[in-house]
Amino acid sequence: MSGTPISVALLGEALGFIPASLPRDEWARVGMAIKSEFPDDAGWGLFRDWSARDAASFDEAAALSTWRSIKAGGGVGVSTLLYLAKQHGFKLPRRSKGPHVPGQQLQARAVQKSPAAKAAEEAQQRAAHQAVARQAVQLWDAASTTGNSAYLHRKGVMGYGVRYAADGCLLVPLRDEKGELWNVQRIAPAKPAKGPDKLFLKGGRKSGLWHMLGGAEGAETVLLAEGYATAASLRQATGLPVATAFDAGNLLHVAKALHGQMPEALLVVCGDDDAAAEQKMGRNTGRSKANAAAAAVGGAVVFPTDLPEGGSDFNDMHLARSLEAVKACVMAAIEQHHKNAAQAADSQQGHELGPDAAPVQTGDDPFSVTQYGVWFHGRDKDGNPARPLWLCSPLQVEALTRNQEGMGWGYLLTFEDPLGVPRQWAMPARMLSGDGGEYRGTLLNMGLRIATAPMARNRLTEYIQTRKPGAFASCTDRIGWHKRAFVLPHETIGDEDERIVFQSDAAMENTFRIRRGVDDWIEHVGRYCAGNSRMVFAVCCAFAGPMLRPAGMESGGFHIRGGSSSGKTTAARVAASVYGGPDYMQRWRTTDNALEVIAAQHCDSLLILDELSQVDGKVAGDCAYMLANEQSKARSTRTGAARSRLSWRLLFLSTGELSLSDHMAEGGKRSRTGQDVRMADIPAEAGKGWGAFEHLHGQPDPASLAGLLTRGTERCHGAVGRAFLQWATTHAETLPKRLRDAANVLATAWMPQGASGQVARVAARFALVAVAGAMATEAGLTGWDEGESEDAVKACFDAWLAGRGGAGSGEVTAMLRQVRAFFEAHGEGRFTWWHRAADDHSVKTLQRAGYRRLVDAEGKPVKAEPKLSGPRLNGDDQRLYDELLPAVASEDMQVEFFVLPEVFRNEVCNGYDYTAVCSVLLQHGCLKPGKGRAYDDKQRLPGLGQARCYRITSSIYELEV
């Protein structure tokens, strides 16, 4: 090679043999090799023209950014490029002979390959992609579904469908339209000093793959963004499903794939605004790629506004301004898109109908409805009939709605979207106040075409208000039981006697989704739960949620506690699959106010909250109280009047690595017995050494069974819950008595003799869960044998009872444990020996809490008067020591404590009424009051004289609490 000069032409010939579709790291090394010889524009031209041959993934802005980041004279030289070219058939010409083949001919040879060569290359690429896909699956399965990410914290977003690697990296999956995993993006916790912080698996697919945040099945609007943080900010702001394409060059491919999969959905491309790059290079790649993707699928496009300096995407807008600002920006773009589409439809409609298509007014009603829409028949200034004004596509007011108190009036509107799908919305009448823009935006989002003229919009409001359908329906703003009917966000089950509809100001996210049928769920989920008490218990909890109100039982919950990868989240997923997909399961990571709304949206059903550690330990106990107390915090309006409270009744299922009391202790709070009763703690470990599993159903290990269940819940969900609600509404008349009787029988049989009222409350809740599971089995919805649910729930109840420490009162146990813990910690250091109190040579007691003395088996004190006159023991003192030593060493000797009153009340009884603690100690034989005294004793304490104190016996150590 020393005899061959390196020229631009020579490198151009060599590059003609190297395919541009190399893995990214090898592609970058080619750029390094070029820049080592030609760091000027000539080198950039070689690199750009060669990279552009891979038209599917070429992004000139990204290529230029890579070129600029390369340092000339680095560790990669031109020999690397020539070596790579030789591997693909290039032959380096000798200096004396010159180039052996002209450059254009070489390039043509490289580009115009034979069909066999192309097929071989494609097969090789497919094999490489599949190998990377297998690597991605292994990496994905090894990662945890829960964890913390410094990247997410820095970006201020949550994790949606991501996983957490052991090295702290965040894993974002890349899937195709079938949901198959092909690659993963690894996002480092912090940006490294050299190199990118986001990497894909080498040699894997990326083009046309995406990651969906939220459930897109049946969605009317889907957002599309570049990076994960941008997509997460959009998801948190709007609640809409969001797909992340990972970079601008992939937006077009993902948009086409999503449009093919969901042709009826509006695709909104939320692009980046690369203004800084535009100033430097003259091109705004984010805008151009986003506009191209939206135009290709007939979607909408929106860009962030009011960005901070250096900001380019919606995550920057989120951090600089707020989620509300992001939502307003996106929703305004969606509404404008609908307006533009409606205006175009109006023009097309008028063109198609012609002048004779408008209806003729009949009767006194100025409004008429035809197959073409709603029309208004007005008059001109001379009083003559004017040309009918088109208001919107066909819209019917089927009924007037009101709540059970005769308030909350509204209109039940029905229509069809452009695809002919029936739509229904119970619209509150108060939304007609003002200019009506809010209700029109909701109708447009649902698919109603509305005229854009101001007069037409006002007449539409008038049309709705003047309808007199004659039919009435009860409305409610919460889901759940209403008499014998069960209301869901988009349907009501069992409302044959009276029509009941769900009414809200805005469309509520429907997490009650159905995929496949009941038999499919039994085959892929239900049968694998059998024999596993925690899985069966979780499913029974889902069935028990709607049974609380008929049984007359208060709200409450359970907490499945276990270490990482113990199966607790799998149990939560299995429970969620009864009513919906992965979106049905909520997270503890939320604010108090948001948790109130979430609870109201799960009224009379099961609320699943995953990973307790994501909520601050200082407020975890308050959240448990709030959920169980069935009502939101009282708030006032702007005028000072009381605002209507949210209310609910539900069963909640929580998971976490720590118990509620331990998590609160980490936050410096002490749990109350009431909190533990409201959220019973169940260990995930079932006793077989397999975490939450006891029967593997032929799987090699618990992880395989957990993966099988997870895949089953993704494929099959929702149908079982709906079928159970249908069964429940059919048996609504006999359901209350049957539930109460069966639950009472089970609870009575399970409770130990002499159980406290607290244990009885929790036992009743466990029993209701078992009965609900038995009823679902009776209805043919689980595929389990008879008695499966009762056995599983009983095992969980016994585990809770064992972890609690018995069937006694929780407060009594907590008091005794606290008193004993005080003496275990301070019995040696803060209590002065009675017989050494006057000894100047004894160790001084700091922060003295009282005195202690030896007593014999009959409780009589061992009296001794030490006589110390110097640093050495005299004869009398030696005799005293010899007498006391056998007594101290004797097994019959015990120690009793005399606690000073303020220490006892403020430290020993901290957090409790000291009289209640005294009463408990007295009942258990640990407190000896003085004669005629209720609790305390009057003793002549050494050095203090007559003083009141509390006399605690060593029996406190013998209690089994």
* DSSP notation for 354-380: -TT-SPPP-SS-SEEEETTEEEE--B-
Domain final position from 804, 838, 858: 804
Tell whether 339 and 197 lie within a shared domain: no
Tell me the average pLDDT across 913-917: 89
Residue 76 has pLDDT above 90, yes or no: no
Q: Choose the final residue of a domain: 319, 349, 379.
A: 349
Are 245 and 171 in a shared domain? no
**Judging by beta carbons within 10 Å of its beta carbon (0-12, 13-18, 19+), is residue 112 exposed, middle or buried?**
exposed
Q: What phi-psi label fits residue 499: left (phi over 0), alpha (psi between -120 and 50 degrees) or beta?
A: beta
547 in a structural domain? yes
Instruction: Say if residue 106's pLDDT is above 50.
Output: no
pLDDT at 855 exceeding the cut of 50: yes
**Does residue 16 belong to any structural domain of this protein?**
yes
Radius of gyration, CA atoms only, the chain: 37
User: Which residues lie closer than 8 Å to 924 by C-beta, 6 or more apart?
Assistant: 816, 955, 959
* DSSP category for residue 686: -
pLDDT at 276: 76
Cα-based angle 695, 724, 213 (whole degrees, multiple of 5): 75
Which of the listed ranges 95-104, 341-350, 930-939 does the model predict with the highest average pLDDT? 930-939
pLDDT of 282 reads 66
- Is the predicted pLDDT of residue 162 greater than 80, yes or no? yes
| Predicted pLDDT at 99 | 43
- Domain stops at, among 804, 819, 849: 804
Most confident of 19-23, 361-365, 456-460, 533-537: 533-537
Identify whether 438 is part of a domain. yes
**The tokens 């020229």 sit on which residue?**
7
Q: Which amino acid is at 371?
A: Q
Same domain, 633 and 707: yes
Residue 560 lies in a domain: yes
Three-state SS annotation for 379-443: ECCCCCECCCEEEECCEEEEEEEECCCCCCCEEEEEEECCCCCEEEEEEEHHHHCCCCHHHHHHH
Query: d(Cα 386, Cα 882) in Å, to the nearest integer?
Result: 122
Residue 729 · residue 494 · CB < 8 Å: yes
pLDDT higher than threshold 90 for residue 559 = yes
Asked whether residue 165 falls in the same domain as residue 189, the answer is yes
- Are the C-beta atoms of residues 846 and 830 closer than 8 Å to each other? yes
Q: Is residue 594 part of a domain?
A: yes
Pairing of strands 894-899, 850-855: antiparallel
pLDDT in tens, 590-627: 888 888 888 888 999 999 999 988 888 888 888 888 88
**How many angstroms separate the CA atoms of 873 and 632, rounded?**
72
Tens digits of residue pLDDT in 868-882: 444 454 554 555 555
HSE, side-chain direction, 13 A CA sphere, residue 207: 13
Compute CA distances 44 → 27, 79, 274, 774, 799, whole Å. 14, 18, 22, 72, 69
Q: Which amino acid is at 628?
A: A
Nearest to 230 by CA among 141, 329, 142, 143: 329
**For residue 204, which of 129, 139, 122, 131 has the smallest C-alpha distance?**
129
Instruction: Read off the pLDDT of each residue in 544-565 and give the average, rounded to a whole number.
Output: 93
State the Cα–Cα distance between residues 546 and 292, nearest whole angstrom. 48
Give the model's pLDDT for residue 835. 79
Question: Does residue 507 sit within a domain?
Answer: no
d(CA 223, CA 239): 10
- 50 vs 375, residue with greater confidence: 375
Say if residue 56 is in the same domain as residue 137. Answer: no
Which pLDDT value is given to residue 281? Answer: 65
| Other Cβ atoms within 10 Å of 673 Cβ, number | 18
Question: Band of the pLDDT at 450, cuts 50, 70, 90?
Answer: very high
Give the DSSP H or E segment for 678: helix 673-678
**In this predicted model, what pLDDT tens digit does every residue of 481-493 receive, in sequence order?**
888 889 888 888 8
Same structural domain, 720 and 752: yes
Residue 682 has pLDDT above 80, yes or no: yes
Contact between 677 and 553 under an 8 Å Cβ cutoff? The reply is no
If asked whether residues 910 and 858 sit together in one domain, one would say: yes
pLDDT of 902 > 70? The answer is yes
Domain co-membership, 817 together with 919: yes
pLDDT score recorded for residue 532: 95
For the stretch 232-290, pLDDT in tens is: 999 999 999 999 999 888 899 999 999 988 888 899 999 998 877 777 666 788 888 89
Domain co-membership, 385 together with 488: yes
Same domain for 572 and 661, yes or no, is yes
Q: Which pLDDT band, with edges at 50, 70 and 90, does 224 fall under?
A: very high
Which of 491-495, 547-551, 861-865 shows the highest mean pLDDT? 547-551
Indicate the average pLDDT of the chain: 84
Over residues 95-106, mean pLDDT? 44
pLDDT confidence bin for 865, thresholds 50/70/90: low
| Domain residue limits at 191 | 124-206
Lowest mean pLDDT, pick from 24-38, 202-216, 307-321, 334-348: 334-348
Query: Has residue 575 got a pLDDT over 50?
Result: yes
Give the pLDDT band of residue 350 (cuts 50, 70, 90): very low
What band does 107 get if pLDDT is binned at 50, 70 and 90?
very low
Beta strands in 429-548 (DSSP E): 472-476, 480-482, 485-488, 491-493, 500-502
| pLDDT band of 344, cuts 50, 70, 90 | low
Give the largest Cα separation in the chain, rounded: 133
Q: Are 765 and 586 in contact (CB under 8 A)?
A: no
Could you tell me if residue 508 is inside a domain?
Answer: no
Measured CA to CA, the distance from residue 650 to residue 602 in angstroms comes to 7
Alpha helices in 270-355 (DSSP H): 275-281, 285-297, 314-320, 323-353
Cα 802 vs. chain centroid, distance in angstroms?
Answer: 31
Q: Does the pLDDT value for residue 10 go beyond 90?
A: no
Per-residue model confidence (pLDDT) at position 893:
78
Q: Please count the structural domains in the chain.
A: 6
CATH code at position 271: 3.40.1360.10
Confidence of residue 641 (pLDDT cuts 50, 70, 90): confident
Spatial separation of the C-alpha atoms in residues 67 and 629, rounded to whole Å:
62
Shared-domain flag, residues 663 and 791 = yes
- Going by pLDDT thresholds of 50, 70 and 90, the confidence category of residue 814 is confident
Residues 271, 367 within the same domain: no
Contact 685, 691 (CB under 8 A): yes
In the DSSP assignment, the letter for residue 650 is: -
Residue 536 falls inside a structural domain = yes
Strands 422-428 and 410-416: antiparallel
Statement: residue 185 has pLDDT above 60: yes
